[in-house]
Structure 1
Amino acid sequence: MVAHSAAASTPLSVPSSSSSRSTIPSTIPNYNVAPPNLTTLPNNSLFDTWRPRAHILPPTGQIGDPCMHYTDPSTGLFHVGWLYNGAGIAGATTADLAMYQDLNPNGSQAIVPGGKNDPVGVFDGSVIPEGIDGLPTLLYTSVSYLPIHWSIPYTRGSETQSLAVTNASSAGRNFTKLPQGPVIPSPPFAANVTAFRDPYVFQSPHLDAILPSGPTNLSTAPWYTVISGGIHNAGPTQFLYRQHDPDFQYWEYLGQWWSEPTNSTWGNGTWAGRWGFNFETGNVFALDAEGYNPSGEIFGTLGTEGSDLPIIPQVTSIHDQLWVAGNVSMTDSDSVTFTPSMAGFLDWGFSSYAASGKVLPSSSQPSTDSGAPDRFISFVWLTGDLYQQAEAFPTDQQNWTGSLLLPRELTVLAIDNVVDNALSREAETSWRVSSTDAASGTVTLRTLGISIARETKSKLFSGSGSTSTERDRTLTSAGVTPFSRSPESKFFVLSARISFPSSARDSALQSGFQILSSDEEHTSIYYQFSNESIVVDRSKTSAASRTTEGIDSATEAGKLRLFDLQKDGEDVLESLDLTIVVDNSILEVYANGRFALSTWVRSWYANSTEIRFVHNGVGEATFENVTVSEGLYDAWPDRK
């Protein structure tokens, strides 16, 4: 896969022991012996085996795309939504981005298909917090025909955009569809689309300033929506619309404001994968160094559906979760155009997709309590079955599939005192040079900042168990070194700084950690200089992957350049700052405020809880500030 070509070029080879254990046939899982084929176990028998504690997922069943987020103006609570069981949108509220309450009993949906506009399906939608009559108003994709896929001819009328409203008494528990037809009844005329879905609503002073005058009957700035899709034999695109009336009944089509050639890449594809054949779940927002700023730099997040092959369509279900920054301008034909200036991965994980976020104002309950400014908070879906390709996955035995990843704050991140060289000046990457200091020979870089939301991170590090710190150390020899104190459970956060000498850049050095380790299993997380990658080697993560075909064990990796920095008059290599969240089977790796890779780590044995330092014996690596906070928190205290 081109988008994930950063996979380890050479597996980290370190000593590891293995003991053979016999399997005792049983209908009750025994986590002290080797697992059977998990699909032979009784239904629901694996419900707790890999279930996370601090993440967002429904009580049972399958979670899908995050969508329908908003802050309720009347309560200040933040609403998080998701597709649920392929039959509508469900959701929850939170006052702190850590603890959640289901909107409805058993996590049931707030809107389901079955109306005249959506007899087949309700796809992703986006909420105007104060829309029709000042009430939260959902613009969503109403579906009348299936199947829909970028690789097959499109049935016109399959996807339209409709409205639904919730009132004060319902408070988001139910969105009532308006008794009328769709407000955007079809794709643009004569457009042979691959898809036309996932409307995302936003306001934009940038667009207000450059577009010809809009409607004069609005009491506030107009709302815009981008609808994701593509054009057959042309490429992926976003269709842009503008609100035309106070009741949101009419939307003015402004054109395909952003299009890319079929299955092309940003640059050579190293830093941002493929644009694919079709865009999905596009979001548009503006950021500065503090968070959301409507007049800040324009960013977007998007999912791309693509193929290994650059031109010939092939259904390989490649899904890349990307971000993009750029500028808007008017063309000679008086149409608005978005032009990318940099792009990257919002999450490098194979199963990480369909991100959707929302502005979280400083007046919301979470922000009021934490003192945070206006922010843009993004949620990413971690599909639990490789987009339903893992047919042998023990779905019935687990009785839940997938999760949303931890909420993330997105900002404009500055990287200061970077040496002005070819590494910092590389073109079409996930960063740009924003200023130059000729006297010192340094530059300041700008990129997308990606970090766990501050309230969530604070709660994670408070944990429900103990916190321990390892002594600083420098490793030079190949091997693994156990922590002096490892967690007793599979719920913890590990933070650390790893420093390398400048000579490491041109070496084969690999260094990092092993987690969820025992004699039978371990997951290796390490930085690899040969291709500037953080690697998550899952080849020995799960004994279950050796008995059950649907338990994926592929190695995953993502690109992260450690820049040359000027410090105290000397050139040094940027350190690697890691935050590693392990929530039973969910692994989230964050690095240097600009990198995220999330995946599944489904260890089997009860004693697979050890953490180890790991080094391949090339050069040296110094580990500092290594801390483990154990326990995590229960995100769903009201669930039985």
Structure 2
Amino acid sequence: MKLSSAIFVFLADRAACAVFSREVSSVDYNSAPPNLSTLANATLFNTWRPRAHILPPSGKIGDPCMHYTDPKTGLFHVGFLHDGIAGATTDDLATYTDLMPDGRPSIVAGGKNDPLAVFDGSVIPNGIDGLPTLLYTSVSYLPIHWSIPYTRGSETQSLAVTYDGGRNFTKLSQGPVIPSPPFALNVTAFRDPYAFQNPALDSALNSTQGTWYIAISGGVHNIGPCQFLYRQHDAGFQYWEYLGQWWQEPVNTTWGNGDWAGGWGFNFEVGNVFSLNEDGYSEDGELFMTLGTEGSEAPVTPRVTSIHGMLWVTGNITKGDSVAFTPTMAGFLDWGLSSYAAAGKILPATSKASAKSGAPDRFISYVWLTGDQFELATGFPKAQQNWTGTLLLPRELKVETLPNVVDNELAREPLSSWRVSREESGQVDLQTMGISIARETYDALTSGSSSVEAGRTLSEAGDVAFETSPSSKFFVLTANISFPSSARGSDLQSGFKILSSELESTSIYYQFSNESIIIDRSNTSAAAKTTDGISSDNEAGRLRLFDIAQNGAENIEILELTIVVDSGVLEIYANGRFALSTWARSWYANSTDISFFHNGVGEVTFGNVTVFEGLYNAWPQRK
């Protein structure tokens, strides 16, 4: 995301504040919070800071980008905007090592192509001279935003090469390799180049096998958002052939009625292109994309209307006068209002992480959790916290199949986020994008001490406290919830209250009336009552629980929940196809209790309830 002026503004006093970041806080978390903006700089450094997530040692993180697996070392490189583009390596998708001391960037603005800013880029692992080669957006004029006239020459695409294993990317002493948007187009944006290979495109375009393509995100004023497609022309990656707007949507329209994938908005950002099958990445798999959408004003229920959406889409490649991509299915990669700018890359089975776990080729994606709803709220105590935002946990993406679904209207809804892949004798199999925490990450998250909560059936409204609640705000809660057939379309709500005390709590529950997972944050943080800029808005995302045929009976699909609490970061995953992430900034030290939550008419059964406490330290080499 490029914010309203397309500049990533970092804390001006970052360096001055850094010396305070390790000081012991004098704040009393057993007493009511003051106005947090009155506290000393860096006083709140550890208050809501996650330990198992990716973020710099201090300061602000922006879009994830510049990921790749180094062919020489097998290490997976994860990059992100941070005073340029910074990065880290991992050999297990759980622990990370900064590429540069103190998390400094590997490439910064200031060259002849990028005097003002370095925006997102994508790495070709075996690029120039067989070395990892970065193609990135070089910025010469600001501000840039889809809602204002575009200054030609603002965004160009330039190359940089690493000669030291990714610690530094050296810019080529030449002009941009893609020096302008396509001729005579009044674009809204022209950025975030994503490099990929695709045999289906090779076939459609009669390209040499293994050709590289570049998808650049943006749009055209008064026409709509789009992706511009380019093809590698030479072995040195110096020349790129423009192939047209291979995907374009009318301005501010939606996928279907918008219920399952929001709106296309006015501008596309951060488009990633890759192929998936039921195991993970496959070069011969189905074409998928993840993309950010800007400016959507379409009414979406139950999602609160936002100016951004973090979506996925799949579709077909066709070849007429030019190559074209046509969507066939779309959905949310993350329903969180503060979740955006996902970027991923192929993680081959030969990588160090996959070799350790025995995983196949995969596509691993990271999502940016911004400060709070893209920092539209003013007054947040940034200086007191001395860091802003984080990347969410790495996710494996694949084609997910849900078998033995009853063939009814619920399964047959057109233009949804699923499709019928098989039908027989009143049953269908459904397919959608599978979204889950990367297996190595999940194993690390759940490797600590655990406690099993006895299953129970609730039929009366109210809360029932856990027999054993976590002692900290670092834990994973997993559970299955079974609903009666009578719940369909009712006012039934069931789930959990977490981060709870007499003065605070966050409720997470499934609501049948609009088929949604709700996060009620109205009482999450006592600090929200004393300090501006700490959001207490509720969050929601749609998840349809289908009717499943099993052993001669039809029952509502079981809700399978994984809830990750990493201090102030809250991530919810469900049924292998749903993700919703947000901030849960509880204040009081004793806000650690968990209880079952039930409301409405109907009997609900909770099973396989387990709490894994502690989480791991993703940065063991940081001081």
TM-score between the two structures when normalised by the length of structure 1: 0.92
**Equivalent-residue separation in structure 2 for 1:199 and 1:191 (angstroms):** 18
SS at match of 1:423: coil
The residue number in structure 2 matching 1:313 is: none
Long gaps (5+) in structure 2: 1-24, 300-304
Q: Deviation digits for residues 416-472 of structure 1, max 9, x if unmatched?
A: 0000111100000000011111x2x10011100000000000000002xx2100111
Q: Does 1:260 align with 2:237?
A: no
Q: Deviation digits for residues 458-497 of structure 1, max 9, x if unmatched?
A: 000002xx21001110000111011000000000000000
Q: Deviation digits for residues 88-143 of structure 1, max 9, x if unmatched?
A: 10000000000000000110000000000000000000000000010000000000
Determine if contact 1:508/1:618 at 8 Å carries over to the other structure.
yes
**Equivalent-residue separation in structure 1 for 2:122 and 2:363 (angstroms):** 14
User: Equivalent of 1:160, from 156, 162, 181?
Assistant: 156
SS at match of 1:462: coil
Letter in 2 for 1:287: L
SS at match of 1:354: strand
Q: Deviation digits for residues 520-562 of structure 1, max 9, x if unmatched?
A: 0000000000000000000000000001111000000000000
**Equivalent-residue separation in structure 2 for 1:388 and 1:141 (angstroms):** 23
Determine if contact 1:385/1:401 at 8 Å carries over to the other structure.
no
SS at match of 1:349: coil
The residue number in structure 1 matching 2:114 is: 118
Give, in angstroms, the shift of residue 570 of structure 1.
1.0
Determine if contact 2:372/2:583 at 8 Å carries over to the other structure.
no
User: Equivalent of 2:96, from 100, 123, 134?
Assistant: 100
Q: Deviation digits for residues 54-94 of structure 1, max 9, x if unmatched?
A: 0000000000000000001110000000001xx31000000
SS at match of 2:56: coil
Q: Deviation digits for residues 261-304 of structure 1, max 9, x if unmatched?
A: 11100000000001000000000000000000011111000000
The residue number in structure 2 matching 1:588 is: 571
The residue number in structure 2 matching 1:346 is: 333
SS at match of 2:528: helix
Q: Does 1:199 align with 2:186?
A: no
**Equivalent-residue separation in structure 2 for 1:29 and 1:195 (angstroms):** 44
Give, in angstroms, the shift of residue 506 of structure 1.
2.3
Question: Which aligned pairs between 1:48-447 and structure 2 lie closer than 5 A?
Answer: 48-84=46-82, 87-167=83-163, 170-211=164-205, 213-214=206-207, 221-308=210-297, 318-331=307-320, 334-437=321-424, 439=425, 441-447=426-432
Question: Which aligned pairs between 1:572-583 and structure 2 lie closer than 5 A?
Answer: 572-583=555-566
**Equivalent-residue separation in structure 1 for 2:514 and 2:373 (angstroms):** 25
**Equivalent-residue separation in structure 1 for 2:600 and 2:488 (angstroms):** 15
**Equivalent-residue separation in structure 1 for 2:487 and 2:430 (angstroms):** 22
Give, in angstroms, the shift of residue 620 of structure 1.
1.3
The residue number in structure 1 matching 2:592 is: 609
Question: Which aligned pairs between 1:40-55 and structure 2 lie closer than 5 A?
Answer: 40-55=38-53
Give, in angstroms, the shift of residue 308 of structure 1.
2.3
**Equivalent-residue separation in structure 2 for 1:548 and 1:407 (angstroms):** 32
Letter in 2 for 1:119: P
Q: Deviation digits for residues 7-37 of structure 1, max 9, x if unmatched?
A: xxxxxxxxxxxxxxxxxxxx93110111011
Give, in angstroms, the shift of residue 387 of structure 1.
1.9
Determine if contact 2:254/2:298 at 8 Å carries over to the other structure.
no
**Equivalent-residue separation in structure 2 for 1:341 and 1:500 (angstroms):** 31
**Equivalent-residue separation in structure 1 for 2:87 and 2:261 (angstroms):** 31
Q: Deviation digits for residues 196-239 of structure 1, max 9, x if unmatched?
A: 0000000000101111x34x6xxx61100100000000000000
**Equivalent-residue separation in structure 2 for 1:135 and 1:413 (angstroms):** 35
The residue number in structure 2 matching 1:13 is: none
Give, in angstroms, the shift of residue 374 of structure 1.
0.3
The residue number in structure 1 matching 2:16 is: none
Question: Which aligned pairs between 1:405-554 and structure 2 lie closer than 5 A?
Answer: 405-437=392-424, 439=425, 441-463=426-448, 466-554=449-537
Determine if contact 1:527/1:535 at 8 Å carries over to the other structure.
yes
The residue number in structure 2 matching 1:5 is: none
**Equivalent-residue separation in structure 2 for 1:293 and 1:309 (angstroms):** 34
**Equivalent-residue separation in structure 1 for 2:296 and 2:556 (angstroms):** 36
The residue number in structure 1 matching 2:14 is: none
Determine if contact 1:479/1:617 at 8 Å carries over to the other structure.
no
Root-mean-square deviation (Å): 1.0
TM-score between the two structures when normalised by the length of structure 2: 0.94
**Equivalent-residue separation in structure 1 for 2:511 and 2:503 (angstroms):** 24
**Equivalent-residue separation in structure 2 for 1:197 and 1:507 (angstroms):** 46
Determine if contact 2:263/2:298 at 8 Å carries over to the other structure.
no
SS at match of 2:62: strand
**Equivalent-residue separation in structure 2 for 1:40 and 1:607 (angstroms):** 24
What is the number of equivalent residue pairs in this alignment?
Answer: 594
**Equivalent-residue separation in structure 1 for 2:458 and 2:200 (angstroms):** 51
SS at match of 1:206: helix
**Equivalent-residue separation in structure 1 for 2:183 and 2:576 (angstroms):** 43
The residue number in structure 1 matching 2:20 is: none
Determine if contact 2:294/2:307 at 8 Å carries over to the other structure.
yes
Determine if contact 1:528/1:534 at 8 Å carries over to the other structure.
yes
Give, in angstroms, the shift of residue 309 of structure 1.
5.9
Determine if contact 2:317/2:326 at 8 Å carries over to the other structure.
yes
Q: Deviation digits for residues 564-601 of structure 1, max 9, x if unmatched?
A: 01000111110000000000000000000000000000
SS at match of 2:429: strand
Determine if contact 1:325/1:342 at 8 Å carries over to the other structure.
yes
Q: Does 1:618 align with 2:601?
A: yes
**Equivalent-residue separation in structure 2 for 1:497 and 1:631 (angstroms):** 22
Letter in 1 for 2:238: Q
